[in-house]
Amino acid sequence: MNYNMPQDQKDFSSVSPSAKSLLLMKGYTNIPYAKQTAALMQGPEAFDLDFDNKDFWFWIRVMHFESRYWSIDQLLQQTNHKNILELSSGYSLRGLDLCVHDAGIHYIDTDLPGVMEVKQDMILQLNLENAAKGKFELQSLNVLDEEAFKRVTDRFDDGPLVMVNEGLLMYLNLDEKRQLCKTIRQTLKQRGGCWITADVYPKRTTETTLPHSKSESAFMEQHNVEDNKFESYDAARAFFEEQGFEVMQEAVPDYQNLSVLPHLIRFLPEEVRNSKQPPPKIHATWMLRAV
């Protein structure tokens, strides 16, 4: 396992509290290593979420993030590419898990320096530093730094590259999204491969709005999260097409196999529990190809 921490040029560290909150929620799922890493997370929870009062809305949140995580794996399994780059990975250890099971994979896991330092420490505490059969690397990366981005992608051998991300685009404004798309498209046009993003979030409606704590709402306002979302799924598709991408496939949620489902069912009203209707769609995970 290779670990490198170059200095970033721009500070996005104010976003990092969301990665901590997300990890603590994923700790209630069977996502690989989530329970172990969540148990190591120190300090107070950033958004004042009540982890002692696990009500319907708590489990709805967990269900969303568990489903989002597996949606990326679902599309990853439909590619045979062995070079994988994860952008803004937070405290996820998806890459390590894949490298534990497949010696042919080269996976580079990236995020901001502070997050990567904590993640590296977690790996050491859990004695996982030698667990990977494949090649697993941690690299700090500001995704808007084009030169740093190229230095990371140059670490892969020749061949197609899959880029994945969840929980990134809603922190980028329109110009920053365009800048990232340009960098990703240039890379994929040179190498081949695809981009799997779980960040196709349309703006909230009454049906898709979840209650937020005061500190969580303040965080979202600080980072313009709602404004940074797409107007609709059609608008998202049009945006990616304008940036030179084609939507190849969309992940299909598999709610019945989520580990959180038994917890959620306990809080569902009887009429909802017996319904065959899926939960309201609040995001999509797309596989994109550079054209």
> In the predicted model, is pLDDT for residue 50 greater than 80?
no
What one-character DSSP code corresponds to residue 257?
A: G
DSSP H or E stretch at residue 84: strand 83-87
Q: Are 34 and 26 in contact (CB under 8 A)?
A: yes
DSSP H or E stretch at residue 245: strand 245-250
> In the predicted model, is pLDDT for residue 164 greater than 90?
yes
| Interval 112-129: pLDDT, tens | 998 999 999 999 999 999
| Interval 235-281: pLDDT, tens | 999 999 999 999 999 999 999 999 999 988 888 877 777 777 777 89
| Interval 55-104: pLDDT, tens | 888 888 899 999 999 999 999 999 989 999 999 999 999 999 999 999 99
In whole angstroms, give the CA distance from residue 109 to residue 152.
Answer: 10
Give me the chain's average pLDDT, please: 87
By DSSP bridging, strand 106-111 and strand 83-87 are parallel
| Interval 219-230: pLDDT, tens | 456 657 789 999
N residues, the chain: 291
State residue 198 phi and psi, 5-degree precision. Answer: -95, 15
Which residues, 6 or more positions from 103, have their beta carbon under 8 angstroms from its beta carbon? 133, 134
> In the predicted model, is pLDDT for residue 177 greater than 70?
yes
> Comparing 214 with 193, which gets the higher pLDDT?
193
List, in order of start, the domains of the chain with CATH numbers.
Answer: 2-290 (3.40.50.150)
